[in-house]
Chains A and B, each alone.
Chain A
């Protein structure tokens, strides 16, 4: 059922790997036998580097989970298979072959993943295994423990660890997307797991609401809402809870953006017209960065927190600009388009995504962080509010291409890897950072290193 919910477009098999699959696999093997429980493993020199080649995907064979323990383990294992397949196919990293659906395994596969579901009492143990292919030597085996309701979460953790083992960086299966469900008179903030499950409403403001933005810690969601006579910025715990007002003064406080150090950039008209400010996360200590009579809006932090991209119409039309975090060195960043807006800095700082208006609709573009090499990524229908995944490999955006408003995820070659089907008119997506905690193994997961050459 889950697989039927999304139109997956698996990566084409035309990924002409510039690096040999086998050497990469061996390098990974060498990496993994050293043990990788550190949160920031020093593995740059051995990972499969995908960052320089967005076209390339890793061929992955997915084997059905086996089961042990109580009778419900079999049922649970069958449930786990499509969850993992969705996670891996939706990651933009892998070309997934399901061993239970195909008799001929792809010759260019580089790894095989699978494992076992064990249920004892109310405890599920998902034993995830990653092996190289075709030799099937064990790369890693990890036990993920949880209670009966935790299956999806355990599978997501395994999926993210698969990406970590095979690329050097964890995947994004445990992340969430915040978005706005727009109604005729009011809108509300929602959040959903990145695979489209677990959608829930976080606000009941019954008023216009825009601009969701995650705190760097994953713990809070900022947004702007028109309650009473003024737009203000609010923060609500991303797990649900009471919203608190952050901004003060003026009638327009919108476009919050949380910086890596907790500072909050946002737009306010409290000194006259829309200007960009930086304040503490609780709204105190606000300092104005732009000073002009033009529209300045939509700030986005560079991942270092040293610069801010934003939109201004100071040159006569809306365009993407950049400035230092103290407001210095304001200059236009994107040129060549009559209207560019909604900049978002990639998590690695090397790129920007933004929208360009063409003929009354918006396209999603990507450019280098210095504005060079801009290219259209999504042009079907009108596409707004692009926002990066925390690994910088995917972009979520809203589009009216199928009528209404829906959320889509694209990779950097423009392939839609997922459509997130949630009820209502979904807009304004914001991709969460990774949840806090060690990527590879938390308190309830243990990784077994293959025997042999430990350092």
Chain B
């Protein structure tokens, strides 16, 4: 963890550039079989994302809203894990198939940051998801972002499973 922190000091711009360029540094090692999301600056291992919203969503009887799966993040991170990228690939396909649909991506955080920091972190998470979709080919003007920080938690508990549910980019069809 210390290593990460030290490295992040000067790697962060590189990571951001890598994200913008279409491949996070994790992707290189994780392409064939996505491992569980890597932990970064977290004291506790990140659990598997909650079971809801993670199914590939192709069923024609589902609304676009239902088909768009949320993206989950590690603690204090806006980095897209390989599973997050897989989710966004599926979301991008849904948006490609529904060209008339515009979405807002909400960035959410667990409560273990300060209010203002979490609003900035949620903003960064939503922006990371949007950037990925734009690179996927979705027109930028179809995707807006807004941060909710820790203001609208999905789960109210004070344990890691609740925290994990709250660290997400949530799709809302406009």
Give residues in A with beta carbon < 8 Å to B. 185, 187, 208, 210-211, 226, 229-231, 251-252, 254-255, 267, 269, 273-274, 292-298, 311, 313-318, 338, 341-342, 355, 357, 359-360, 362, 384-385, 427-428
Contact = CB atoms under 8 A, between A and B. Distances in A.
Interface string B91-114: 000000000000010000000111
A89 to B, nearest CB: 31
B120 A274 contact: yes
Contact of A316 (B12, B112, B149): B12
Contacts of B7: 316
A252 B123 contact: yes
Given A229-B104, A252-B147, A317 B5 contact: yes
Contact of A317 (B41, B112, B115, B148): B41
A341 B113 CA distance: 9
B120 A267 contact: yes
13 contacts: A231-B119, A252-B119, A269-B120, A293-B12, A293-B16, A295-B117, A295-B124, A311-B116, A315-B5, A316-B12, A316-B41, A338-B5, A342-B116
Contacts of B152: 185, 208
Interface in B135-152: 144-149, 151-152
Contact of B117 (A269, A315, A341): A341
Contact of A211 (B104, B116, B121, B124): B116
B70 interface: no
Contact of A251 (B76, B123, B124): B123
Contact of A298 (B8, B16, B104, B117): B117
A252 B116 CA distance: 10
B54 to A, nearest CB: 25
Nearest to A187: B151
Q: Chain B contact residues (Cβ within 8 angstroms of A): what range? A: 20 to 34
Most interface-central of B117, B127, B152 (chain A CB within 10 A):
B117
Enumerate the 6 nearest inter-chain pairs by beta-carbon distance, A residue then B residue, closest first: A316-B8, A316-B5, A274-B120, A208-B151, A295-B120, A341-B114
A254 B6 CA distance: 28
Contact of A318 (B113, B146, B149): B113
Contacts of A342: 114, 116
A314 B8 CA distance: 8
Contacts of A211: 115-116
B120 A252 contact: yes
A230 B146 contact: yes
Nearest to A357: B112
Contact of A314 (B12, B113, B147): B12
Most interface-central of B7, B113, B114, B147 (chain A CB within 10 A):
B114
B115 A385 contact: yes
A428 B115 CA distance: 8
Contacts of A255: 116
A208 B149 CA distance: 10
B9 A251 contact: no
Contacts of B43: 359-360
B44 to A, nearest CB: 9
Nearest to A292: B13
Given A185-B152, A316-B8, A316-B9, A226 B117 contact: no
B9 A315 contact: yes
A222 to B, nearest CB: 13
Contacts of A295: 117, 120-121, 124
Contact of A267 (B9, B13, B116, B124): B116
A211 B8 CA distance: 29
A195 B146 CA distance: 37
A362 B115 contact: no
B73 to A, nearest CB: 14
B148 A297 contact: no
A273 B123 contact: yes
Contacts of A297: 116-117, 119-120
Contacts of B4: 316
Contacts of B123: 251-252, 269, 273-274
Contacts of A359: 43
A251 B151 contact: no
A48 B82 CA distance: 64
A315 B112 CA distance: 19
A182 to B, nearest CB: 8
Contacts of A427: 115
B80 to A, nearest CB: 15
Given A341-B117, A342-B116, 14 more contacts: A231-B146, A267-B116, A269-B127, A274-B119, A274-B123, A293-B13, A295-B124, A314-B9, A317-B8, A318-B76, A360-B112, A384-B115, A385-B114, A385-B115
A255 B117 CA distance: 10
Contacts of A385: 114-115
Nearest to B110: A360
A185 B144 CA distance: 21
A317 B150 CA distance: 18
